[in-house]
């Protein structure tokens, strides 16, 4: 491969040649021919072009003379990497443009004294309209010809005006995210390719001539100017632009929410969400009449109890210090189909999420059904294989589906805290590790005999338990090892079978007990939310106060225990050395992969490996903000946390303060993890939540707190 071409030298030489050689009728000069340019017009005809009869040839130029539509080059699409050169001239108060990518991607052609647009640099001559203003104004007076260039190579875009480079930026650079998002509202997508070149008819007379284009070769670099700075948009121009944005977003049935991105933890952390667009003035219950919420329903799919979610469109962006979430039933400018509905490049009309946590039957197939103990203590790989055993399109709960549900929740409830909005869930059951230890070996029994501490009351003995709860029996020596589970506690007797002892009785087949066994809580049975009236809410509290409210089932839009009870492995997202890699196709989900079908995100996620002390001075690292990747705007994963650089804050009761604000969910990420688990387990207290993602787990890890959930996507041809 040849070294990258030095662009400056040819450009200087070309400028000199233009000065000495007049442009030919075709619009080419010898230097441009050498660079590979092709003339798009011979100055005599419309060969290769299409219009509605409202354009003429005048002195070798295309002239718009009456208003019927744009002039489009139909001979070939615009190359992915290209340079376009042309000249333009406007009439007084003229507004026109050159479209060079699919949709609303436009080099603005304008009389800069235009009273409507010219005051806003993002809408002035040579601007990337509604996205990026030029660094300076360089137009010639009305009636004179202006020279222009558009260069696109990869993600770099340049606009030139009268031999001056006035725009030069890389649209994947996070510092331009706001501008790129602004264009998205209008319907512009800078990643689009294969569009037709179009000269706009906006109702005023305009002329174009000497259009010529070349493909930029692979070995020719186009480097954005690091010193590029667009003219600022201020005052009345900014107010008018913001009003236009609001009008675009509020047009039609668009429902949204926004909240302040936390810059100052003291002032921003507890600020509420604000409903926007058509959601203004609505309550959560009103969404029962709004699509897609209104169309979410429980159903049976291949024998599994699932929740059907219909395809819809969404938009997420961060602008002016706020994060915005918007949902629409229809495709609108700046919106995209939620990625959960896209598999192998094809859009799905519906997807399905297990109504219950996963249960593995005797054949090893994953099920979603009521009145069973959800299966725990398997690895992510084992759960994935169990889901796939149901057939094509089945898989385990993945990141895209989780983010879809988070998005629906945020817009519906206008609240970031799921425990506050819906319910706390199963979060304060007794950990079975080294708790009620067996003191007797027995054969064929349904009880475990323990020796409580002297003076311990029955109420204290039952802390974190209640009659009718599920239990687990684990090893004292190796607490992660499970002897058996899937049992219900039926009776507790103090001073039985003799004074100083206590007996826990449970159902199921008799077992042989040893003195290595410990009894504690477990994930509760599925289907307990079926008694809840409606699609969302929480069940009755269980056990002793005051923490009984953290022992209840929750349901969101017919889906039981999206948080609490069991941590749920998340598929389609792999971690490596603290970096996140995501996959866009359920058929390609695989552990340990960080290349080919998985792509890296540009979101910088902070590491946080301290579990803190529940309710104590070290419980201070709660989720602060969700990251934003302009290439994947839907990818809203935890980015940072509160009180960075501090280990504890004694005497400040920060735990209580932090869990009641913002998301109220904890932040976890280390450089050893290979995957996420989500939601919190039955011992996770107030940290359980819809936005709790723990990046501390590996694909080989199994635990009695780790479970899964079935999803189904009806793949084409499946």
* Residues 412, 407: Cα–Cα separation, whole Å: 9
Q: Which domain holds residue 504?
A: 436-521
R_g of the chain computed on alpha carbons? 31
Predicted local distance difference test score (pLDDT) of residue 252: 64
Q: Is residue 132 part of a domain?
A: yes
Which of 253-275 are b and which e, b meaning 16 or more Cβ less than 10 Å from the residue's Cβ? ebbbbbbbbbeebeebbeeebeb
Q: What is the DSSP letter of 551?
A: B
Which CATH number characterizes residue 94's domain? 2.60.120.560
> What is the three-class DSSP state of 689?
coil
> Which parts of the chain have pLDDT scores under 70?
1-27, 115-116, 118, 248-252, 718
Torsion of CA 692, 696, 697, 698, to 10 degrees: 140
- Residue 358, pLDDT score: 99
Distance of CA 509 to the CA centre of its chain: 46
Question: How many domains are there within the chain?
Answer: 2
Task: Output phi, psi for 18, to 5 deg.
Answer: -60, -35
Q: Would you say 674 and 575 are in contact if contact means Cβ atoms under 8 Å apart?
A: yes
Taking alpha carbons only, the member of 397, 389, 394, 392 closest to residue 364 is: 389
| Surface-to-core class of residue 577, CB atoms within 10 Å of its CB (0-12 exposed, 13-18 middle, 19+ buried) | exposed
Least Cα distance to 707 among 565, 574, 566 occurs for 566
Backbone angles phi, psi at 463, to 5 degrees: -60, 120
Residue 454 lies in a domain: yes
Phi and psi at 299, nearest 5°, equal -160, 175
Q: Which two tokens stand for residue 497?
A: 């079978």
Give the domain-ending residue among 484, 505, 521: 521
> Which DSSP state fits 420?
H
Looking at residue 19, its pLDDT comes to 35
Q: Work out the burial of residue 643: count CB atoms within 10 Å of its CB; fewer than 13 is exposed, 13-18 middle, 19 or more buried.
A: middle
Is 327 a member of any domain?
Answer: no
**Gap between the Cα atoms of 59 and 457, Å rounded:** 101
d(Cα 601, Cα 409) in Å, to the nearest integer?
24
With tokens 């501390």, the residue in question is 696
- CB-count exposure of residue 164 (10 Å: 0-12, 13-18, 19+): middle
3-state secondary structure at position 164: strand
Which residues are bridge partners to 538 per DSSP? Answer: 554
Distance of alpha carbon 574 from alpha carbon 553, whole angstroms: 29
- 275's enclosing H/E stretch is strand 274-277
pTM of the model: 0.74
Q: Answer for the pair 128, 180: CB distance below 8 angstroms, yes or no.
A: no
Of 483, 504, 521, the residue that ends a domain is 521
The answer to whether position 368 is within a domain reads no
Pairing type for strands 706-707 and 567-569 reads parallel
Residues 6+ apart with CB under 8 A from 493: 502, 503, 505
Residue 625, domain member (yes or no): no
Helix, strand counts (H, E) of the chain: 10, 46
What is the predicted pLDDT for the residue at 223? 97
CA count, 13 A, side-chain hemisphere, 716: 10
What pLDDT is stored for residue 251 in this prediction? 57
Q: Return the pLDDT at 182.
A: 87
Residues in the chain: 718
Cα 513 to Cα 496: distance, rounded to the nearest angstrom: 16
Distance CA 334, CA 330 (A): 11
Phi and psi, residue 72, nearest 5°? -120, 135
pLDDT for the residue numbered 346: 95
Beta bridge partners of 116: none
Say if residues 626 and 410 touch (Cβ distance below 8 Å).
no
Pairwise CA distance, residues 106 & 400, whole Å? 32
What pLDDT does 28 receive?
77
Which of residues 521, 544, 574 is at a domain's end? 521
Q: Residues near 336 by Cβ (< 8 Å), separated by ≥ 6?
A: 313, 314, 315, 634
The strand pairing partners of 537, in sequence order, are: 555
Burial (CB < 10 A; 0-12, 13-18, 19+), residue 15, is exposed
For tokens 């000249």, the residue is: 87
Quick one: tokens of 109?
């052609």
Flag whether 589 is in a domain.
Answer: no
Q: For residues 638 and 626, is the Cβ–Cβ distance under 8 A? A: yes
What integer pLDDT is reported at residue 15 of this predicted model? 37
Residue 534: asked if its preceding bond is cis (omega within 30°), the reply is: no
Q: Render pLDDT for 472-498 as a digit per residue (tens, 0 to 9).
A: 999 999 999 999 999 999 999 999 999
Residue 688 in any domain: the answer is: no
pLDDT the model gives residue 387: 99
Measuring CA to CA, how many Å separate 712 from each of 121, 344, 375, 567?
A: 48, 15, 19, 20
Contact criterion met (CB below 8 Å) for 559 and 532: no
The number of C-alpha atoms within 13 Å of 611 and in the hemisphere containing its C-beta is 6
* 151: β partners: 83, 158
Asked whether residue 401 is domain-assigned, the answer is no
Q: What is the pLDDT of residues 87-135, one digit of tens each?
A: 999 999 999 999 999 878 999 999 987 766 768 999 999 999 999 999 9
- Distance between CA atoms of 629 and 275, rounded to whole angstroms? 23
């Amino acid at each position: 491969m040849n070294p990258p071409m030095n662009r400056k030298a040819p450009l200087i030489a070309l400028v000199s040649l233009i000065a000495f050689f007049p442009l030919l009728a075709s619009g080419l000069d010898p230097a441009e021919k050498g660079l590979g340019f092709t003339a798009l017009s011979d100055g005599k005809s419309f060969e290769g072009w299409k219009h509605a009869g409202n354009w003429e040839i005048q002195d070798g130029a295309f002239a718009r003379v009456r208003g019927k539509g744009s002039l489009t080059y139909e001979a070939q699409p615009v190359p992915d990497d290209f340079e376009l050169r042309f000249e333009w001239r406007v009439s007084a108060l003229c507004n026109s443009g050159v479209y060079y990518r699919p949709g609303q991607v436009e080099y603005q052609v304008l009389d800069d004294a235009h009273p409507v647009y010219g005051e806003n640099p993002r809408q002035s001559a040579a601007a990337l309209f509604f996205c990026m203003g030029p660094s300076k104004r360089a137009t010639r007076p009305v009636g004179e010809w202006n020279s222009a260039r558009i260069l696109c190579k990869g993600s770099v875009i340049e606009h030139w005006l009268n031999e001056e480079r006035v725009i030069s930026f890389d649209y994947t650079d996070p510092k331009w995210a706001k501008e790129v998002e602004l264009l998205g509202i209008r319907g512009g997508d800078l990643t689009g390719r294969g569009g037709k070149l179009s000269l706009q008819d906006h109702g005023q007379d305009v002329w174009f001539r000497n259009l010529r284009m070349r493909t930029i070769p692979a070995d020719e670099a186009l480097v954005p100017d690091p010193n590029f700075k667009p003219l600022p948009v201020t005052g009345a121009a900014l107010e008018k632009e913001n009003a236009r944005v609001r009008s675009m977003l509020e047009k039609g049935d668009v429902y949204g929410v926004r909240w302040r991105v936390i810059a100052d933890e003291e002032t921003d952390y507890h600020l509420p969400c604000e409903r926007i667009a058509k959601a203004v003035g609505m309550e959560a219950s009103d969404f029962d009449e709004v699509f897609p919420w209104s169309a979410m329903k429980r159903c049976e799919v291949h024998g599994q109890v699932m929740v059907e979610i219909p395809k819809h469109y969404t938009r997420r962006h961060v602008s002016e210090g706020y994060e915005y979430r918007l949902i629409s039933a229809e495709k609108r400018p700046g919106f995209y189909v939620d990625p959960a509905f896209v598999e192998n490049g094809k859009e799905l009309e519906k997807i399905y999420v297990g109504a219950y946590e996963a249960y593995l039957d005797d054949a090893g197939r994953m099920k979603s059904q009521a009145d069973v103990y959800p299966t725990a203590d398997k690895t992510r790989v084992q759960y994935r294989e169990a889901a796939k055993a149901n057939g094509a399109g089945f898989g385990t709960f993945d990141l895209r589906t989780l983010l879809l549900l988070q998005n629906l929740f945020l817009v519906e409830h206008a609240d970031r805290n799921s425990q506050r909005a819906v319910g706390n869930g199963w979060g304060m059951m007794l950990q079975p590790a080294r708790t009620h230890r067996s003191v007797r070996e027995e054969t064929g029994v349904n009880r475990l005999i323990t020796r409580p501490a002297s003076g311990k009351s029955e109420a204290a003995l039952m802390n974190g338990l209640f009659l009718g709860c599920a239990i687990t029996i684990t090893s004292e020596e190796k607490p992660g090892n499970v002897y058996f589970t899937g049992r219900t506690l039926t009776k507790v007797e103090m001073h039985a079978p003799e004074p100083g002892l206590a007996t826990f009785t449970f159902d199921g087949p008799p077992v042989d007990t040893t003195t290595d066994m410990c009894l504690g809580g477990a994930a509760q049975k599925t289907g307990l939310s079926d008694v809840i009236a409606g699609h969302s809410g929480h069940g009755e509290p269980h056990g002793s106060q005051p923490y009984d409210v953290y022992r209840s089932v929750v349901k969101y839009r017919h889906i039981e225990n999206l948080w609490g009870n069991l941590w749920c492995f998340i598929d389609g997202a792999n971690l490596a050395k603290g970096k996140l890699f995501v996959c866009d196709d359920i058929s390609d989900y695989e552990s340990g992969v960080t290349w080919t079908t998985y792509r890296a995100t540009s979101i910088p996620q902070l590491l946080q490996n301290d579990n803190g002390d529940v309710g104590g001075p070290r419980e201070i690292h709660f989720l602060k903000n969700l990251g934003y990747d302009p290439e994947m705007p839907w990818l809203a994963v935890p980015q940072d946390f509160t009180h960075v650089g501090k280990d504890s804050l004694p005497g400040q009761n920060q735990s209580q303060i932090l869990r009641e604000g913002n998301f109220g969910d904890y932040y976890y990420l280390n450089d050893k993890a290979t995957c996420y688990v989500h939601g919190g387990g039955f011992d996770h207290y107030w940290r359980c939540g819809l936005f709790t993602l723990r990046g501390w787990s590996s694909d080989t890890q199994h635990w009695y707190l780790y479970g899964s959930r079935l999803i189904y996507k009806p793949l084409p041809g499946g």
